[in-house]
Structure 1
Amino acid sequence: MDASEIVEWLQDSPCSAHERGQRGILRFLNPGDYEKFLHELRTNRPRCESLKGVRQLGIIQAISCPSPDRGLPFSLNSKMQWEEDTPVRMHALSKGSLVTDKGIPWGVKHIQAPQAWSRTTGHGVKVGVIDTGVDFGHPDLRHSLGRGINLLHRLALPQDDNGHGTHISGTIAAANELQGMIGVAPRATIYPVKAFDYNGTAYVSDIILGIEWCIRNQMNVVNMSFGMKTRSKSLLNAVNNAYRSGVLIVASSGNDGSIGDIDYPARYNQTIAVGATTQQSRIATFTNRSGLIDIYAPGEHVVSAWLRGKHREMSGTSMATSHVTGAVALLLGLKPGLTPAQIKSIIKKSAKPLRNSKAPRMAGELNVMRMIKAADLL
């Protein structure tokens, strides 16, 4: 393969390095070709503005780049694959109201997390949260945070400018019993991976970079409270890579109220796909559901941490997913050697049957005490 031909093709890009615009992901089918291309890119990048917008996605031997005007040269079609770098959206409904509730939120109690704290609090478990960042000054999260990474501004802290990531992190591992709230796994450590901007917008390539960071930094479990309708081979490759590396991804099913269909990446077999329930243990009307859901968890009127040290009530499969991620952290605190496949099997097997659920093969609701009992039998 002639690496200079690809570099030449990329130089046709109309977008500057700083525009998000129309982007694509170019995957190399041969590792040797990828290495040759990177060498050529390094040589040419300093003197070409359009090449500054090219980002390496090493985990899948690919690059993300602005879309050039003309299609991939015919001679390169057998050597690489091009796909659109699709936007990804958060799985929370419109913001609820700020609240002054403190203590243990209903969802944390509902899944019976407090009953497990005498045996496990998630101590020593590393949780990657690919989201909008986190409020580093929040008193409920101060003792629960690792540095993480800001993929949008590499030198900055992954400080939350949206609120969603702080809410997710609070449910997973908040630890401020006296003045604030407690999450599912209060001694787990959250590593915020800021892939979404203040509008809650990210692209598939941002998520892939986030997954790559989580694998490299040996996260045990990764929370992904977002999704999209289109299937991405590049994202699937990254998810597979995490799964094979022993990093479990927990993903939300989406909030369109669809029956028989859920969003990606929850739809991939190598994730734990999460739907939302109400305080009455019924499936929330907004949740996407299908036979691909692995577990349901509290997702309606969930109170958690918010920006500037506050608390907010929110609903969505995003919120349900953070309960499951916290439960996985509790499980790994107790049994650190479990593989992603074992964890998924334990969570599905130990689920509590849902109310009014007539379908025999339907997923049940998360229950931490049942989960720990199932793990003890291993």
Structure 2
Amino acid sequence: MKNMSCKLVVSATLFFSFLATGPLAHAQTSSEKEVIVVYKNKAGKDTVLESDAEVEQQYKHLPAVAVTADQETVKELKQDPDILYVENNVSFAAAGGTDVKVLSDSNETSDNFKQWNLEPIQVKQAWKAGLTGKDVKIAVIDSGISPHDDLSIAGGYSAVSYTSSYKDDNGHGTHVAGIIGAKHNGYGIDGIAPEAQIYAVKALDQNGSGNLQSLLQGIDWSITNRMDIINMSLGTTADSQILHDAVDKAYEQGVLLVAASGNDGNGKPVDYPAAYSSVVAVSATNENNQLASFSTTGNEVEFSAPGTNITSTYLHQYYATGSGTSQATPHVAAMFALLKQRDPAETNVQLRADMQKNIVDLGAAGRDQQFGYGLIQYKAQESDAAYTSAEQAVKKAEQTKVQTDIDKARELVSQLPDPAAKTALQKRLDNVQSYRSVKDAKDKVVKAEKYKTQQTVDTAQAAINKLPNGTDKANLQKRLDQVKRYIASKQAKEKVAKAEKSKKKTDVDSAQSAVSKLPDGSEKTVLQKRLNKVKSNNLKTAQQSVSAAEKKSTDANATKAQSAVNQLQSSKDKTSLQKRLDKVKKKVAAAEAKKVEAAKNKVKKAEKDKTKKAKTSAQAAVNQLKASTDKTKLQKRLNAVKPKK
């Protein structure tokens, strides 16, 4: 499909119409006939289902059953009081010729086809305002839709009897669908509402033929599946009560129906279902904004749209050029989708009134039989001005990539009322912000690489953490991790050196923590050996100190040994030495207790004798005590003794 040299551009008049020319009458001469039976109540429905008629189709939203029955059964049904009326299941088919003129490759092929029809309706103004038909559901009741690279099909339904596929095997439905929703992908054509959800409702066969039963099925399916808009580029010159009831029912359910006025020429009556008041009737204009020569006119015409030489998608990944009110109708359906996106809460009635504000009046002033209210033409609103300002700000941010411009654009975008427009611009801003964030992170990593401080590393890490996962983030993280390793190595070396100098447990612990964080390697091994040596020397010092305290159990030796033991890491050696030292402490405490008792006795004696000799002896005993509450009390008592003169 991408190779445009093999594309075919087809010129044809594509418009479908019922073949009936008078009141709906069946052309069959056989004893059996296909009819649509409309019942008044449940009893009437049961009568149809229990009759000899073969049931072809029941409808969910229409009080009708499509059946095949002999003439006698049909007569009985017509006479039943619970039956409202019976209509023939008339056939309909393409009104124009079926010849397709294939143009040669050299005559007209291009990656991008010219679309004159977009300028008169000023749809590009709507696109600039972010309107694309997003989330609006449009049922194209036609010959189906063929798979095409320029189209997205949301789903569909087949109402024809020979296939369950809604794939187009005629071409007309695909052509209509492209006018509505061809993608804006840089090649082929641009649809008016490229993000509308298009559903293929196949009611016509490969020959462009169908019947009333199938059309009713398509409308019934559209109601069930909550379509917002139905496009019917088809019609008949004959009235049908059940068709009238069906479109009225859909309209009551909130569906907006758009149909072609017909191709019988000016002065001819508008075709059905376009002629019904619940349906928007569309006439066709040409390149000069004049009424197309083939376009049917009448009081029922509501709007007009381009309908001559319209290029759109076609079968087998091709494109085709066609003319007819069939081509004008999807212009209006798509424009309604844009208005629906702009004002999602508006009903089908309100949208029809809204469209009257989005026209250019052609022909006689006001509504006329040729153009209706006028040629559809998108009119910018005040909200569009807000969108334009926001888009310009986004463009500036995309150009400068300066954070202040990004922030200004983000503020303007946040004030937009339309969620779809806001989302589209927000995505563009997010891309700019992503670039800005990556650049900021790169600058901060470079700074961290230059200064290699913890502060610059922390700042760079915070910037990297804000980046989405991807190559940029991974590469910057690798560079920053190298800086982190350098800093960690430097810190570990400094802390090990400090531990070697002070031999304090706090310094040893800090050094051990720093060494443990290093990646496995020769550097970590060397630093751990140096640290282990400090630990080993501390153990040796503690062992010697405890042995000295055991040998000479003095308070000074016990205190020195405890200090040495305290520098050790928790281990069996430390536990063992502490137990030995605790025994020494008990021994020192016992000796101290004896000294305290002896000092008490001498102070008591000094208090009794009050001699200088007794006080001197008591003072010597108190002086030998280590600082304690007992020593303080005894000293006070001794100070109170006054020797005899």
> Smaller-chain TM-score range?
0.7 to 0.9
Give 1:1-378 correspondences, 5 Å limit: 14-15=31-32, 22-35=33-46, 37-38=48-49, 40=50, 51=54, 54-70=56-72, 71-73=74-76, 76-80=79-83, 81-90=85-94, 95=100, 97=102, 99-101=108-110, 102-103=112-113, 105-119=115-129, 120-136=131-147, 138-141=148-151, 144-152=152-160, 156-259=164-267, 261-354=269-362, 357-358=363-364, 360-362=366-368, 363-370=372-379, 373=381
Helix, strand or coil: the match of 1:246?
coil
8 Å CA contact 1:89, 1:227 repeated in 2: no
Structure 2 vs 1, CA of residues 258 and 84 (structure 1 numbering), >3 Å: closer, same or farther? farther
Helix, strand or coil: the match of 1:129?
strand
Distance 1:149 1:342 in 2: 28
Structure 2 vs 1, CA of residues 375 and 29 (structure 1 numbering), >3 Å: closer, same or farther? farther
Q: Which moved more, 1:62-71 or 1:335-344?
A: 62-71
Give the residue type in structure 1 aligned to 2:75: L
Structure 2 vs 1, CA of residues 332 and 166 (structure 1 numbering), >3 Å: closer, same or farther? same
8 Å CA contact 2:160, 2:210 repeated in 1: no
TM normalised by structure 1 equals 0.84
Larger proportion of strand: 1
Structure 2 vs 1, CA of residues 288 and 373 (structure 1 numbering), >3 Å: closer, same or farther? farther
Helix, strand or coil: the match of 1:88?
strand
Structure 2 vs 1, CA of residues 330 and 24 (structure 1 numbering), >3 Å: closer, same or farther? same
Helix, strand or coil: the match of 2:356?
helix
Deviation of the 1:107 alpha carbon: 1.3
Distance 1:75 1:254 in 2: 32
8 Å CA contact 1:250, 1:272 repeated in 2: yes
Give the alignment's Cα RMSD to 1 decimal.
Answer: 2.5
Distance 2:94 2:345 in 1: 31
Distance 2:77 2:65 in 1: 19
Structure 2 vs 1, CA of residues 104 and 329 (structure 1 numbering), >3 Å: closer, same or farther? farther
TM normalised by structure 2 equals 0.50
Helix, strand or coil: the match of 2:71?
coil
Give the residue type in structure 1 aligned to 2:125: Q
Structure 2 vs 1, CA of residues 331 and 90 (structure 1 numbering), >3 Å: closer, same or farther? farther
8 Å CA contact 1:139, 1:176 repeated in 2: no
Structure 2 vs 1, CA of residues 64 and 75 (structure 1 numbering), >3 Å: closer, same or farther? closer
Deviation of the 1:337 alpha carbon: 1.6
1:2-38, Cα deviation, whole Å (9 max, x unpaired) = xxxxxxxxxxx945xxxxxx42111101134325644
Distance 1:374 1:320 in 2: 28
8 Å CA contact 1:91, 1:254 repeated in 2: no
Query: Alignment length, in residue pairs?
Result: 343
Stretches of structure 1 that go unaligned for 5 or more consecutive residues are 1-12, 16-21, 42-47
Distance 1:187 1:258 in 2: 35
Distance 2:165 2:118 in 1: 28
Structure 2 vs 1, CA of residues 360 and 248 (structure 1 numbering), >3 Å: closer, same or farther? closer
Distance 2:159 2:80 in 1: 30
Helix, strand or coil: the match of 2:206?
coil
8 Å CA contact 1:176, 1:182 repeated in 2: yes
Distance 1:79 1:217 in 2: 29
Structure 2 vs 1, CA of residues 34 and 359 (structure 1 numbering), >3 Å: closer, same or farther? same
Deviation of the 1:106 alpha carbon: 1.7
1:314-336, Cα deviation, whole Å (9 max, x unpaired) = 00000000111110111111111
Deviation of the 1:297 alpha carbon: 0.3
Stretches of structure 2 that go unaligned for 5 or more consecutive residues are 1-29, 385-645
Distance 1:358 1:68 in 2: 52
Larger Rg over CA atoms: 2
1:278-328, Cα deviation, whole Å (9 max, x unpaired) = 010000010000121000100000000010111111000000001111101
1:250-294, Cα deviation, whole Å (9 max, x unpaired) = 000110104151000000000110000001000001000012100
Give the residue type in structure 1 aligned to 2:319: H
Larger proportion of helix: 2
Higher relative contact order (CA 8 A, sep 6+): 1
